[in-house]
Each structure stands twice: as C-alpha cells, then as structure tokens.
Structure 1
C-alpha cells in the first residue's frame, strides 16, 4: 500500500502503476491556528510512504503520515523521500550551527523501518538515519525525452557531477562527457569553461542533481553560447527552480529544461518510479 504526501501525488500514482501496489486514501487539512493534520485510511502491513520534503510544512507532514500509518495498522513502514530538504546542510561550518540534514534524518527515523532517498546531494546523508537508508540513482531517466541530438555533449557543472553526466550519456546511448572548470583571476574575476571538449556546433545537455536558483546554470549556458553551442538543454533530477530560476534559464537561451517528478513542476517530464520500484 502506498501513502502519498501532498507534494508527491504524481510520483505516488506512477509508483503504484509501476509496482501494482494500491494507493491508500489520504486527506490533508489545516486547523484555524495554522497547524496541519493528515488522515490515512486502510493500509497494509507493509506501507510505503512517498513524500518529498520541499518545505518545513512537508517535513512535518511526513512525520504525521508515518505516525498515522502506524495508527492505521502498518507494522512496517518504508519511507521514500524523492527530494530531501535540508540535505545540503550536511555539516556545521561554525561552532553552534546545526547539522540540519542529521536532525531531519533522526526525526524521520523515528517513524520508519527503512528509508530510500533519490539522488541526495551527498551520499553521506544516508548515514545520518538511525534506520537502514539507501540512495536511489534516478538520473538515467533524464535521457528518456532526449532525441536527435547533434554530436551530443553531456556536460556537468563541476567534477562532482560528472558521474551523473556519464549516466545520462550512457542511457541516451552515444555522446561525449565533460565538466566545467573554474579559473580564478582575482577575488572577483572567475572564468568558467568546459575542461576539454569543444562545444561549437554541438547539442549540449547540462546535467546536475538539482537546479535551485538557476544562477550557476544560466552562467554556464552563457559560456556555451559564447563558444558556439548549437542547442542547450538543462536536465536535473530535482527541479527546485526557486523564485525566477526558470526565467533566468530562458533568458540565457536554454532550449528546454527537463526534470523528474521528485519535485512536482511543469518541467517534471519524467518519473523516477522505474528507478524506485525495484528497491521496494
């Protein structure tokens, strides 16, 4: 039985279709004082909760869903977190700062027997949970909408994301991979450009785990256009696209933006359900 969070309904439906599991009845409400509550109907002994924690409210909602599922009779709860908020706060940079990813993981662990996360920003986030936790790589799904690329180059914004670029390239079936390098000339002057590959006349696919503000991606697109790229497509597992990020990318000359349904957005063209289903 699958229990869906309010911000992961499309993925829950796709996952039910992929696995043959039933969707549990779930409702959400808000009290006059602003507090949220949930209600879960009949559940199975093994219940799968699918809930992206894209906001503080959705974090609270996930904890409530876990507790409600137990109250409804679930004896085993697998919690799937398609997008885990606070995951990038995985260390304290100064004394007195929280390791927020650890705090959230510990709270979620109280209501789960097992946790799956999709492409967390750092794999080490899984170590913060007090129950078995694994990451699922869904980046290969980003290749599905791509077709007819001219001399494709799959480009990561930095060396840390090159594995993602290689995975999408392999799923597409052909092409070259590379990543951007930064060269600092002074305190404020920084150049970014592809490390080795030429982009002139080629279709470039930028690949990253998350696009948040769109600033870095927009700067990268500008560089590619200066170097004569043919078309530029931005792909990301988590299309957070905060504030005016989508507008920034459009103004920079992006051909298309492709994301997954870890976060529900108009650009969420592909589902991560096929990657999650075998792990359940």
Structure 2
C-alpha cells in the first residue's frame, strides 16, 4: 500500500500505478493549537503486508507528517515499512559548518530510521547522507529521465553543470540524450556572506544549444547568473533541467529574466515544471 504525504500526492499516485500497489487516501489535519495529524483510514480497513510511505520533506511539517504515517503503519500491524523520500529537506546540512551547529541531516535521518525498515532517497544533494540512517538506505538515480523532455534535435548540444560537483549529473543526462559534450562552470561561494562568484568554463558555447543540469534549483541565483554569462558568450538556446525544482521565492522570475528556452524538473517536488516523474526509477528500486 502506498501512503502519500501531502507534498507527494501526484508522485504517490504515479508510483501506485507503476507498482500495482493500492494507493491510500491520506488525511491531513491541523488542530487549533497548531498540531498536525496525518492518517490513512485504509489502514483500519486492511492491513497490507507492506506500506510504502512517500513524502518529500520540503517543510518541517512534512517531516512530521512522514513520521506520523510511518507510525500509523506500525500501529496497524504492517510487517514492512519502506520510506521513500523523493526530496529530503535538511540534506544540504550534512556537516557542522561552525562550532556549536548540528548535523541536521544526521538528526533527521535518525528520526526517520526509528519508524521504517528501509529508506529510498532520490538524488540526494550529498550522496553520503545515506550513511546517516540506522536502517538500509539506497540512493535512487532519476537523472536519466531529465533527457526526456528535451527537444529531439539540439544544435551541437553542450550539457553544462553549474559546478564541478554536478558534472557527473550532466554526463548522465547527456548519455541519456545520446549526443553532446559536457563541461561545467567554476563556482566559489563565500559561506559567510552567501555571495557566489562564477567563472565561465573554457568550452565554446557560441551558437550552441546548452542544457544546464543540476540536482536542485533553490533560489535560482547561481543558475540565472550562469545563464547570463552564457548569453554574453553568444549561446544559442539555453535549457535548464534539475531533479529537484524547489524554486523558492522568486527563482522562477530570475530564470525567466535570464532567458531560458525551457525549464524542466521532476516530481520529487511537485511544481508546474515537474514534467518528468521519478516513479519508474523508484518502482524499480522497490
């Protein structure tokens, strides 16, 4: 049985279709004192052999919903609980950057581990966070699907990541597309001020179609700056793809103003640009 968190209802439905498992209709309530309740009446009617909790933890409330759905499955007597976290909040806080700070990704992982037998993460920002869980945890790669919505005939395509750390992601999408080169921007971030300095790579972009590939777009600042640099160098068309389209605050406006021919993300975070589903990749891992 698939148990969806409120942030992952479309993906849960797609996963139910891909796996053939029944989809529970969950209820999400907020009490007058601000406390939350996530529950599934289907668990009272039937005790499945396995419950798959699917919940992107884009907010702290979503984290709590996930824990409640896990506990509801345990309370119903389900033998196996599998937790799918398409997008894991706090995953970028994978170390203590200053004395006295927590390793938030570890704290979240340990809390999730208490109510599940197994965890699946979709393209976490730092793959190593899977080691923070006290139960078996597998990273699912959904990046190849990002090639699907791209135009079939890109002009001498270049798949470009915003930094060296994401170049393998760009290579994965290039390989899935079947043609093109890869490269990356050099980026330096000042963690005290948050300022980012971008240095263009040596790859020629003039007249070429460029596909910018990243695992997550949050504020869109770095990505929009990268796009502006490409236009300064005479690029053809610029497409943007990402696994996790967080698109916080005015990120969409920044990208549109910078000049993109297309913006594509997956349904790990359900946005209007979520043109690709990770349900198939997650179903294969289940």
TM-score class normalised by the smaller sequence = over 0.9
CA deviation after TM superposition for structure 1 residue 73, in Å? 2.3
3-state SS of paired residue (1:70) = helix
3-state SS of paired residue (1:174) = coil
1:33 match: 33
Name the CA distance, whole Å, in 2 between partners of 1:263 and 1:122.
17
What per-residue deviation string (whole Å, max 9, x for no partner) do you get for residues 196-242 of structure 1?
A: 32100011000000000000000000000001111101110000000
Name the CA distance, whole Å, in 2 between partners of 1:182 and 1:247.
22
Name the CA distance, whole Å, in 1 between partners of 2:57 and 2:237.
33
Instruction: Provide structure 2 residue ranges, at least 5 long, that are not aligned to the other structure.
Output: none
Name the CA distance, whole Å, in 2 between partners of 1:124 and 1:183.
22
Counterpart among 121, 127, 137 of residue 117 in structure 1: 121
Q: How does 1:84-233 map to 2 (within 5 A)?
A: 84-147=88-151, 148-182=153-187, 190-194=197-201, 196-233=202-239
CA deviation after TM superposition for structure 1 residue 25, in Å? 2.7
Name the CA distance, whole Å, in 2 between partners of 1:89 and 1:14.
30
Counterpart among 45, 49, 54 of residue 45 in structure 1: 49
3-state SS of paired residue (1:212) = coil
When residues 74 and 231 of structure 1 are mapped into structure 2, their CA distance, relative to the original with a 3 A threshold, is same
Runs (4 or more) in structure 1 with deviation over 6 Å come to none
CA deviation after TM superposition for structure 1 residue 189, in Å? 9.7
Name the CA distance, whole Å, in 1 between partners of 2:113 and 2:187.
39
Q: How does 1:241-280 map to 2 (within 5 A)?
A: 241-280=247-286
What per-residue deviation string (whole Å, max 9, x for no partner) do you get for residues 30-69 of structure 1?
A: 1111111022123412111100000000001100000011
How many residue pairs were aligned?
277
Name the CA distance, whole Å, in 1 between partners of 2:188 and 2:16.
47
Name the CA distance, whole Å, in 2 between partners of 1:183 and 1:55.
28
CA deviation after TM superposition for structure 1 residue 183, in Å? 8.1
Name the CA distance, whole Å, in 2 between partners of 1:138 and 1:24.
24
3-state SS of paired residue (1:39) = strand
TM-score using structure 1 length: 0.96
When residues 151 and 97 of structure 1 are mapped into structure 2, their CA distance, relative to the original with a 3 A threshold, is same
3-state SS of paired residue (1:66) = helix
Name the CA distance, whole Å, in 1 between partners of 2:69 and 2:58.
15
3-state SS of paired residue (2:185) = strand
Q: How does 1:17-32 map to 2 (within 5 A)?
A: 17-32=17-32
Name the CA distance, whole Å, in 1 between partners of 2:157 and 2:100.
47
TM-score using structure 2 length: 0.94
Instruction: Provide structure 1 residue ranges, at least 5 long, that are not aligned to the other structure.
Output: none
Preserved contact between residue 118 and residue 137 of structure 2 (Cα < 8 Å): yes
Moved more, 24-33 or 128-137: 24-33
1:2 match: 2
CA deviation after TM superposition for structure 1 residue 190, in Å? 4.3
